[in-house]
Structure 1
Protein backbone atom coordinates (compact mmCIF):
# COMPACT_ATOMS: atom_id res chain seq x y z
CA UNK A 1 0.00 0.00 0.00
CA UNK A 2 1.46 3.35 -1.04
CA UNK A 3 1.88 6.31 1.31
CA UNK A 4 -0.45 8.30 -0.96
CA UNK A 5 -3.23 5.75 -0.42
CA UNK A 6 -2.67 5.75 3.34
CA UNK A 7 -2.78 9.56 3.43
CA UNK A 8 -5.96 9.74 1.36
CA UNK A 9 -7.79 7.16 3.46
CA UNK A 10 -6.69 8.89 6.68
CA UNK A 11 -8.00 12.19 5.35
CA UNK A 12 -11.37 10.63 4.60
CA UNK A 13 -11.69 8.99 7.99
CA UNK A 14 -10.71 12.15 9.84
CA UNK A 15 -13.11 13.91 7.76
CA UNK A 16 -14.59 13.01 7.29
CA UNK A 17 -24.42 13.94 5.42
CA UNK A 18 -40.60 19.59 1.26
CA UNK A 19 -42.62 18.60 -1.43
CA UNK A 20 -42.17 20.28 -4.82
CA UNK A 21 -44.97 22.50 -6.02
CA UNK A 22 -46.51 21.05 -9.19
CA UNK A 23 -46.90 23.03 -12.37
CA UNK A 24 -50.19 23.08 -14.22
CA UNK A 25 -51.32 19.60 -15.28
CA UNK A 26 -49.05 17.71 -12.87
CA UNK A 27 -50.35 15.56 -10.06
CA UNK A 28 -49.34 16.30 -6.50
CA UNK A 29 -46.99 13.66 -5.05
CA UNK A 30 -45.91 13.26 -1.45
CA UNK A 31 -42.19 13.89 -0.81
CA UNK A 32 -41.46 10.16 -0.47
CA UNK A 33 -43.18 9.44 -3.78
CA UNK A 34 -41.25 12.21 -5.51
CA UNK A 35 -38.00 10.79 -4.16
CA UNK A 36 -38.85 7.27 -5.30
CA UNK A 37 -39.40 8.47 -8.88
CA UNK A 38 -36.42 10.84 -9.03
CA UNK A 39 -33.93 10.18 -11.85
CA UNK A 40 -30.61 8.84 -10.55
CA UNK A 41 -28.63 11.59 -12.28
CA UNK A 42 -30.66 14.29 -10.51
CA UNK A 43 -30.01 12.69 -7.13
CA UNK A 44 -26.28 12.24 -7.71
CA UNK A 45 -25.69 15.65 -9.36
CA UNK A 46 -24.59 17.37 -6.11
CA UNK A 47 -22.02 14.61 -5.50
CA UNK A 48 -20.75 14.98 -9.06
CA UNK A 49 -20.35 18.74 -8.52
CA UNK A 50 -18.48 18.14 -5.25
CA UNK A 51 -16.13 15.62 -6.86
CA UNK A 52 -15.49 17.92 -9.81
CA UNK A 53 -14.36 20.62 -7.39
CA UNK A 54 -12.18 18.20 -5.40
CA UNK A 55 -10.58 17.05 -8.64
CA UNK A 56 -9.91 20.67 -9.56
CA UNK A 57 -8.27 21.65 -6.27
CA UNK A 58 -5.92 18.67 -6.31
CA UNK A 59 -4.62 19.65 -9.74
CA UNK A 60 -4.27 23.31 -8.77
CA UNK A 61 -1.20 24.95 -7.28
CA UNK A 62 -3.12 27.98 -6.04
CA UNK A 63 -3.02 29.06 -2.40
CA UNK A 64 -5.05 27.34 0.31
CA UNK A 65 -7.53 30.23 0.38
CA UNK A 66 -8.02 30.15 -3.39
CA UNK A 67 -8.60 26.40 -3.34
CA UNK A 68 -11.00 26.88 -0.42
CA UNK A 69 -13.10 29.21 -2.58
CA UNK A 70 -13.41 26.49 -5.23
CA UNK A 71 -14.29 23.83 -2.67
CA UNK A 72 -16.58 26.23 -0.80
CA UNK A 73 -18.78 26.90 -3.80
CA UNK A 74 -19.22 23.15 -4.31
CA UNK A 75 -19.91 22.51 -0.62
CA UNK A 76 -22.61 25.19 -0.63
CA UNK A 77 -24.26 23.58 -3.66
CA UNK A 78 -23.87 19.95 -2.58
CA UNK A 79 -24.63 20.00 1.14
CA UNK A 80 -27.52 20.98 3.37
CA UNK A 81 -25.03 22.13 5.99
CA UNK A 82 -27.73 23.15 8.45
CA UNK A 83 -29.11 19.60 8.40
CA UNK A 84 -25.61 18.12 8.70
CA UNK A 85 -24.81 20.36 11.67
CA UNK A 86 -28.13 19.56 13.33
CA UNK A 87 -27.43 15.83 13.00
CA UNK A 88 -23.87 16.39 14.25
CA UNK A 89 -25.11 18.06 17.44
CA UNK A 90 -28.38 16.24 18.11
CA UNK A 91 -31.47 17.41 19.97
CA UNK A 92 -29.58 20.25 21.65
CA UNK A 93 -29.30 22.02 18.29
CA UNK A 94 -32.90 23.23 18.34
CA UNK A 95 -32.35 24.97 21.68
CA UNK A 96 -29.41 27.06 20.44
CA UNK A 97 -30.24 30.75 20.02
CA UNK A 98 -30.64 31.92 16.43
CA UNK A 99 -27.60 34.24 16.49
CA UNK A 100 -25.39 31.57 18.03
CA UNK A 101 -26.67 29.04 15.51
CA UNK A 102 -25.66 31.27 12.59
CA UNK A 103 -22.18 31.79 14.04
CA UNK A 104 -21.79 28.06 14.63
CA UNK A 105 -23.02 27.25 11.13
CA UNK A 106 -20.48 29.66 9.62
CA UNK A 107 -17.67 28.04 11.63
CA UNK A 108 -18.88 24.57 10.66
CA UNK A 109 -18.91 25.58 6.98
CA UNK A 110 -15.32 26.83 7.21
CA UNK A 111 -14.33 23.60 8.98
CA UNK A 112 -16.00 21.41 6.33
CA UNK A 113 -14.32 23.28 3.48
CA UNK A 114 -10.88 23.36 5.11
CA UNK A 115 -11.07 19.62 5.80
CA UNK A 116 -11.69 18.90 2.12
CA UNK A 117 -8.93 21.23 0.96
CA UNK A 118 -6.51 19.60 3.38
CA UNK A 119 -7.51 16.06 2.39
CA UNK A 120 -7.27 16.69 -1.37
CA UNK A 121 -4.02 18.59 -1.68
CA UNK A 122 -2.36 19.37 -5.02
CA UNK A 123 -0.92 16.15 -6.39
CA UNK A 124 -3.06 13.90 -4.16
CA UNK A 125 -4.10 11.91 -7.23
CA UNK A 126 -7.51 10.89 -5.92
CA UNK A 127 -9.86 9.33 -8.44
CA UNK A 128 -13.61 9.44 -7.99
CA UNK A 129 -16.14 6.83 -9.12
CA UNK A 130 -19.91 7.29 -8.74
CA UNK A 131 -22.08 4.20 -9.19
CA UNK A 132 -24.80 4.69 -11.82
CA UNK A 133 -27.72 3.65 -9.62
CA UNK A 134 -28.93 5.04 -6.30
CA UNK A 135 -30.34 3.22 -3.29
CA UNK A 136 -33.52 3.93 -1.42
CA UNK A 137 -32.66 4.95 2.14
CA UNK A 138 -34.60 3.36 5.00
CA UNK A 139 -35.43 6.92 6.09
CA UNK A 140 -38.52 7.96 4.15
CA UNK A 141 -37.85 9.67 0.87
CA UNK A 142 -34.07 9.84 1.18
CA UNK A 143 -31.64 8.28 -1.28
CA UNK A 144 -28.10 6.93 -1.04
CA UNK A 145 -25.46 7.68 -3.66
CA UNK A 146 -22.60 5.18 -3.55
CA UNK A 147 -19.10 6.18 -4.65
CA UNK A 148 -15.47 5.16 -4.35
CA UNK A 149 -12.44 7.35 -3.79
CA UNK A 150 -9.17 5.73 -4.81
CA UNK A 151 -5.92 6.37 -6.62
CA UNK A 152 -4.12 4.90 -9.61
CA UNK A 153 -2.80 2.01 -7.52
CA UNK A 154 -5.92 1.44 -5.38
CA UNK A 155 -8.99 1.21 -7.56
CA UNK A 156 -11.86 1.29 -7.01
CA UNK A 157 -10.79 2.61 -3.61
CA UNK A 158 -12.55 3.40 -0.33
CA UNK A 159 -16.37 3.28 -0.37
CA UNK A 160 -17.92 6.65 0.45
CA UNK A 161 -21.72 6.97 0.35
CA UNK A 162 -23.90 10.05 0.63
CA UNK A 163 -27.34 10.36 2.18
CA UNK A 164 -29.38 12.61 -0.10
CA UNK A 165 -32.51 14.54 0.94
CA UNK A 166 -34.80 16.45 -1.37
CA UNK A 167 -35.69 19.88 -0.03
CA UNK A 168 -36.80 23.24 -1.41
CA UNK A 169 -33.43 23.68 -3.17
CA UNK A 170 -33.37 20.18 -4.66
CA UNK A 171 -31.28 17.21 -3.62
CA UNK A 172 -28.62 17.88 -0.99
CA UNK A 173 -26.20 15.78 1.06
CA UNK A 174 -27.21 15.41 4.72
CA UNK A 175 -24.68 12.78 5.84
CA UNK A 176 -21.59 10.94 4.61
CA UNK A 177 -21.11 7.22 5.22
CA UNK A 178 -17.47 6.14 5.30
CA UNK A 179 -15.80 2.82 4.44
CA UNK A 180 -17.36 -0.62 4.09
CA UNK A 181 -19.03 -0.37 7.50
CA UNK A 182 -20.76 2.87 6.47
CA UNK A 183 -19.68 4.91 9.49
CA UNK A 184 -21.91 7.98 9.78
CA UNK A 185 -19.82 11.14 9.71
CA UNK A 186 -22.59 13.05 11.50
CA UNK A 187 -22.67 10.44 14.29
CA UNK A 188 -18.88 10.55 14.64
CA UNK A 189 -18.94 14.34 14.82
CA UNK A 190 -21.79 14.23 17.35
CA UNK A 191 -19.61 12.14 19.62
CA UNK A 192 -16.75 14.63 19.21
CA UNK A 193 -18.92 17.73 19.62
CA UNK A 194 -20.85 16.54 22.70
CA UNK A 195 -18.03 16.92 25.19
CA UNK A 196 -16.98 20.30 23.80
CA UNK A 197 -20.53 21.63 24.03
CA UNK A 198 -20.87 20.29 27.55
CA UNK A 199 -17.69 22.00 28.74
CA UNK A 200 -17.54 25.15 26.63
CA UNK A 201 -20.96 25.67 25.09
CA UNK A 202 -21.45 27.00 21.58
CA UNK A 203 -18.58 29.48 21.86
CA UNK A 204 -16.26 26.66 22.90
CA UNK A 205 -17.25 24.56 19.90
CA UNK A 206 -16.75 27.52 17.56
CA UNK A 207 -13.27 28.02 19.01
CA UNK A 208 -12.41 24.34 18.45
CA UNK A 209 -13.67 24.47 14.84
CA UNK A 210 -11.69 27.64 14.15
CA UNK A 211 -8.59 25.99 15.59
CA UNK A 212 -9.08 22.98 13.33
CA UNK A 213 -9.46 25.25 10.29
CA UNK A 214 -6.16 26.91 11.12
CA UNK A 215 -4.48 23.52 11.54
CA UNK A 216 -5.84 22.32 8.18
CA UNK A 217 -4.64 25.48 6.45
CA UNK A 218 -1.13 25.01 7.87
CA UNK A 219 -0.98 21.29 7.10
Structure 2
Protein backbone atom coordinates (compact mmCIF):
# COMPACT_ATOMS: atom_id res chain seq x y z
CA UNK A 1 0.00 0.00 0.00
CA UNK A 2 1.44 3.37 -0.93
CA UNK A 3 1.57 6.22 1.55
CA UNK A 4 -0.10 9.48 0.56
CA UNK A 5 0.32 12.94 1.99
CA UNK A 6 -1.59 16.15 1.37
CA UNK A 7 -5.22 16.97 0.70
CA UNK A 8 -6.71 16.81 -2.78
CA UNK A 9 -7.54 20.14 -4.36
CA UNK A 10 -9.79 20.06 -7.38
CA UNK A 11 -9.73 23.60 -8.77
CA UNK A 12 -7.57 24.54 -11.74
CA UNK A 13 -5.36 26.91 -9.77
CA UNK A 14 -4.09 24.08 -7.54
CA UNK A 15 -3.57 21.79 -10.53
CA UNK A 16 -1.48 24.37 -12.36
CA UNK A 17 0.55 25.03 -9.20
CA UNK A 18 1.31 21.36 -8.69
CA UNK A 19 2.38 21.01 -12.32
CA UNK A 20 4.63 24.04 -11.91
CA UNK A 21 6.34 22.22 -9.04
CA UNK A 22 7.08 19.28 -11.27
CA UNK A 23 8.45 21.55 -13.99
CA UNK A 24 10.79 23.15 -11.45
CA UNK A 25 12.03 19.77 -10.28
CA UNK A 26 12.62 18.73 -13.88
CA UNK A 27 14.72 21.80 -14.57
CA UNK A 28 16.82 21.26 -11.49
CA UNK A 29 17.57 17.72 -11.68
CA UNK A 30 19.22 6.41 -14.66
CA UNK A 31 18.45 3.76 -13.08
CA UNK A 32 17.82 0.31 -14.60
CA UNK A 33 15.61 -2.19 -12.85
CA UNK A 34 17.67 -5.08 -11.55
CA UNK A 35 16.82 -8.46 -10.10
CA UNK A 36 16.43 -8.46 -6.30
CA UNK A 37 19.63 -8.96 -4.42
CA UNK A 38 20.21 -12.32 -2.81
CA UNK A 39 19.23 -11.27 0.70
CA UNK A 40 17.38 -13.22 3.32
CA UNK A 41 13.79 -12.03 3.72
CA UNK A 42 14.36 -10.39 7.14
CA UNK A 43 17.44 -8.53 5.82
CA UNK A 44 15.61 -7.41 2.69
CA UNK A 45 12.63 -6.21 4.71
CA UNK A 46 14.92 -4.31 7.06
CA UNK A 47 16.70 -2.60 4.14
CA UNK A 48 13.40 -1.57 2.58
CA UNK A 49 12.02 -0.16 5.81
CA UNK A 50 15.22 1.74 6.50
CA UNK A 51 15.42 3.18 2.99
CA UNK A 52 11.77 4.25 2.77
CA UNK A 53 11.54 5.98 6.16
CA UNK A 54 13.67 9.04 5.19
CA UNK A 55 11.49 9.67 2.12
CA UNK A 56 8.34 9.54 4.24
CA UNK A 57 9.97 12.08 6.57
CA UNK A 58 10.91 14.34 3.65
CA UNK A 59 7.44 14.24 2.12
CA UNK A 60 5.83 14.83 5.49
CA UNK A 61 7.89 18.02 5.85
CA UNK A 62 7.10 19.12 2.28
CA UNK A 63 3.42 18.66 3.10
CA UNK A 64 3.84 20.96 6.08
CA UNK A 65 5.64 23.74 4.21
CA UNK A 66 3.01 23.80 1.45
CA UNK A 67 0.18 24.22 3.97
CA UNK A 68 -1.63 27.55 3.74
CA UNK A 69 -0.55 28.62 7.23
CA UNK A 70 3.11 27.57 6.94
CA UNK A 71 4.37 31.15 7.05
CA UNK A 72 7.16 33.08 5.36
CA UNK A 73 9.98 31.60 3.28
CA UNK A 74 12.29 31.85 6.29
CA UNK A 75 9.77 30.10 8.54
CA UNK A 76 9.36 27.30 6.02
CA UNK A 77 13.13 26.98 5.69
CA UNK A 78 13.25 26.36 9.44
CA UNK A 79 10.78 23.49 8.96
CA UNK A 80 12.41 21.78 6.01
CA UNK A 81 16.07 22.50 6.86
CA UNK A 82 16.49 19.99 9.72
CA UNK A 83 14.75 17.31 7.65
CA UNK A 84 17.12 17.92 4.72
CA UNK A 85 20.02 17.48 7.14
CA UNK A 86 18.50 14.25 8.41
CA UNK A 87 17.57 12.53 5.14
CA UNK A 88 20.25 13.70 2.67
CA UNK A 89 23.92 12.77 2.66
CA UNK A 90 24.77 16.28 1.53
CA UNK A 91 28.58 15.87 1.58
CA UNK A 92 28.27 12.88 -0.78
CA UNK A 93 25.76 14.65 -3.03
CA UNK A 94 28.05 17.69 -3.23
CA UNK A 95 31.16 15.55 -3.83
CA UNK A 96 29.45 13.69 -6.68
CA UNK A 97 28.05 16.94 -8.10
CA UNK A 98 31.50 18.52 -8.23
CA UNK A 99 33.26 15.39 -9.45
CA UNK A 100 36.92 14.40 -9.18
CA UNK A 101 38.05 17.96 -8.53
CA UNK A 102 36.34 17.89 -5.14
CA UNK A 103 39.13 15.76 -3.62
CA UNK A 104 41.72 18.44 -4.47
CA UNK A 105 39.88 21.14 -2.53
CA UNK A 106 41.07 22.08 0.95
CA UNK A 107 38.89 21.19 3.96
CA UNK A 108 38.00 24.87 4.34
CA UNK A 109 36.94 25.09 0.68
CA UNK A 110 34.88 21.93 1.00
CA UNK A 111 33.14 23.28 4.10
CA UNK A 112 32.45 26.62 2.42
CA UNK A 113 30.88 24.84 -0.53
CA UNK A 114 28.88 22.51 1.72
CA UNK A 115 27.40 25.42 3.67
CA UNK A 116 26.31 27.16 0.46
CA UNK A 117 25.02 23.90 -1.05
CA UNK A 118 22.95 23.11 2.03
CA UNK A 119 21.31 26.55 1.93
CA UNK A 120 20.66 26.14 -1.80
CA UNK A 121 19.04 22.72 -1.30
CA UNK A 122 16.73 24.01 1.44
CA UNK A 123 15.80 27.12 -0.56
CA UNK A 124 14.97 25.04 -3.63
CA UNK A 125 12.38 23.09 -1.64
CA UNK A 126 10.99 26.29 -0.09
CA UNK A 127 10.49 27.75 -3.56
CA UNK A 128 9.07 24.61 -5.15
CA UNK A 129 6.53 23.83 -2.41
CA UNK A 130 4.92 27.15 -1.63
CA UNK A 131 1.82 27.48 0.56
CA UNK A 132 -1.20 26.25 -1.36
CA UNK A 133 0.82 24.26 -3.92
CA UNK A 134 -1.38 21.23 -3.35
CA UNK A 135 1.19 18.64 -4.44
CA UNK A 136 0.42 15.08 -3.45
CA UNK A 137 3.05 12.48 -2.65
CA UNK A 138 2.98 8.70 -2.89
CA UNK A 139 5.80 6.41 -1.79
CA UNK A 140 6.17 2.79 -2.84
CA UNK A 141 6.46 0.62 0.29
CA UNK A 142 9.15 -1.61 -1.23
CA UNK A 143 12.51 -0.69 -2.74
CA UNK A 144 14.61 -2.00 -5.59
CA UNK A 145 18.39 -2.42 -5.77
CA UNK A 146 20.41 0.46 -7.21
CA UNK A 147 22.42 -0.55 -10.31
CA UNK A 148 25.70 0.51 -8.72
CA UNK A 149 27.11 0.81 -5.23
CA UNK A 150 24.87 -1.56 -3.34
CA UNK A 151 22.22 1.02 -2.45
CA UNK A 152 18.45 0.98 -2.71
CA UNK A 153 16.05 3.00 -4.87
CA UNK A 154 12.78 4.28 -3.44
CA UNK A 155 10.12 4.91 -6.10
CA UNK A 156 7.72 7.81 -5.54
CA UNK A 157 5.37 10.09 -7.43
CA UNK A 158 4.61 13.77 -6.98
CA UNK A 159 1.55 15.25 -8.66
CA UNK A 160 -1.81 16.89 -8.28
CA UNK A 161 -5.27 15.47 -7.65
CA UNK A 162 -6.00 15.47 -11.39
CA UNK A 163 -3.03 13.53 -12.77
CA UNK A 164 -1.02 10.39 -12.12
CA UNK A 165 2.02 12.33 -10.98
CA UNK A 166 5.63 12.35 -12.11
CA UNK A 167 8.08 9.68 -10.99
CA UNK A 168 10.66 11.07 -8.57
CA UNK A 169 12.93 8.29 -7.34
CA UNK A 170 15.61 8.43 -4.65
CA UNK A 171 18.94 6.61 -4.57
CA UNK A 172 19.62 5.64 -0.96
CA UNK A 173 22.93 4.56 0.60
CA UNK A 174 23.43 3.14 4.05
CA UNK A 175 26.10 4.64 6.30
CA UNK A 176 26.50 4.11 10.04
CA UNK A 177 23.35 2.01 10.07
CA UNK A 178 20.96 4.47 8.44
CA UNK A 179 19.93 5.21 4.85
CA UNK A 180 20.28 8.67 3.34
CA UNK A 181 19.62 10.19 -0.09
CA UNK A 182 22.60 10.44 -2.45
CA UNK A 183 20.76 11.24 -5.70
CA UNK A 184 17.30 12.12 -7.02
CA UNK A 185 16.04 10.70 -10.33
CA UNK A 186 13.34 12.37 -12.42
CA UNK A 187 11.26 9.89 -14.43
CA UNK A 188 13.48 7.13 -13.11
CA UNK A 189 16.59 8.10 -15.09
CA UNK A 190 17.43 11.83 -15.04
CA UNK A 191 20.04 12.26 -12.32
CA UNK A 192 19.98 15.50 -10.37
CA UNK A 193 23.62 14.97 -9.42
CA UNK A 194 24.62 14.61 -13.09
CA UNK A 195 22.71 17.74 -14.05
CA UNK A 196 24.35 19.71 -11.25
CA UNK A 197 27.80 18.42 -12.19
CA UNK A 198 27.70 20.09 -15.58
CA UNK A 199 26.78 23.42 -13.99
CA UNK A 200 29.13 23.16 -11.01
CA UNK A 201 32.20 22.02 -12.96
CA UNK A 202 31.96 24.81 -15.50
CA UNK A 203 31.56 27.39 -12.73
CA UNK A 204 34.53 25.98 -10.81
CA UNK A 205 36.68 26.11 -13.93
CA UNK A 206 35.84 29.77 -14.49
CA UNK A 207 35.69 31.15 -10.96
CA UNK A 208 37.03 28.56 -8.56
CA UNK A 209 35.37 27.77 -5.24
CA UNK A 210 34.41 31.39 -4.61
CA UNK A 211 32.70 31.51 -7.98
CA UNK A 212 30.66 28.38 -7.25
CA UNK A 213 29.74 29.63 -3.77
CA UNK A 214 28.59 32.92 -5.32
CA UNK A 215 26.48 31.04 -7.87
CA UNK A 216 24.83 28.92 -5.19
CA UNK A 217 24.19 31.98 -3.03
CA UNK A 218 22.55 33.82 -5.94
CA UNK A 219 20.28 30.85 -6.62
CA UNK A 220 19.44 30.58 -2.93
CA UNK A 221 18.48 34.23 -2.77
CA UNK A 222 16.32 33.91 -5.88
CA UNK A 223 14.53 30.86 -4.45
CA UNK A 224 13.90 32.53 -1.09
CA UNK A 225 12.52 35.66 -2.80
CA UNK A 226 10.46 33.75 -5.37
Compute the TM-score of the two structures, normalised by the length of structure 1.
0.87
Structure 2, unaligned runs of 5 or more: 1-11, 30-37
Q: State which of 208, 216, 219 in structure 1 corresponds to 2:215.
A: 208
Q: Is 1:159 equivalent to 2:164 in the alignment?
A: no
Q: Counterpart of 1:132 in 2: which secondary structure?
A: coil
Deviation at 1:36, TM superposition (A): 6.1
Could you say if the C-alpha distance between residues 169 and 70 of structure 1 is closer, same or farther in structure 2, counting changes exceeding 3 Å? farther
Q: State which of 103, 106, 123 in structure 1 corresponds to 2:112.
A: 103
C-alpha RMSD of the superposition: 1.9
Structure 1, unaligned runs of 5 or more: 17-31
Kindly provide the CA deviation profile for residues 40-99 of structure 1, in whole angstroms up to 9, marking residues without a partner as x: 221111111110000000003311111001110110011000000011010001111000
Please name the residue that 1:52 is paired with: 60
Q: Where in structure 1 do 4 or more consecutive aligned residues deviate above 4 Å?
A: 32-36
Deviation at 1:169, TM superposition (A): 5.4
Count residues with an aligned counterpart: 202
- Does the 8 Å contact 2:58/2:84 carry over to 1? yes
Please name the residue that 2:26 is paired with: 13
- Counting only pairs closer than 5 Å after superposition, residues 136-175 of structure 1 correspond to structure 2 as 136-155=145-164, 157-168=165-176, 170-175=178-183
- CA–CA distance in structure 2, aligned partners of residues 45 and 6 of structure 1: 26
Higher relative contact order (CA 8 A, sep 6+): 2
Moved more, 114-123 or 3-12: 3-12
Please name the residue that 1:23 is paired with: none
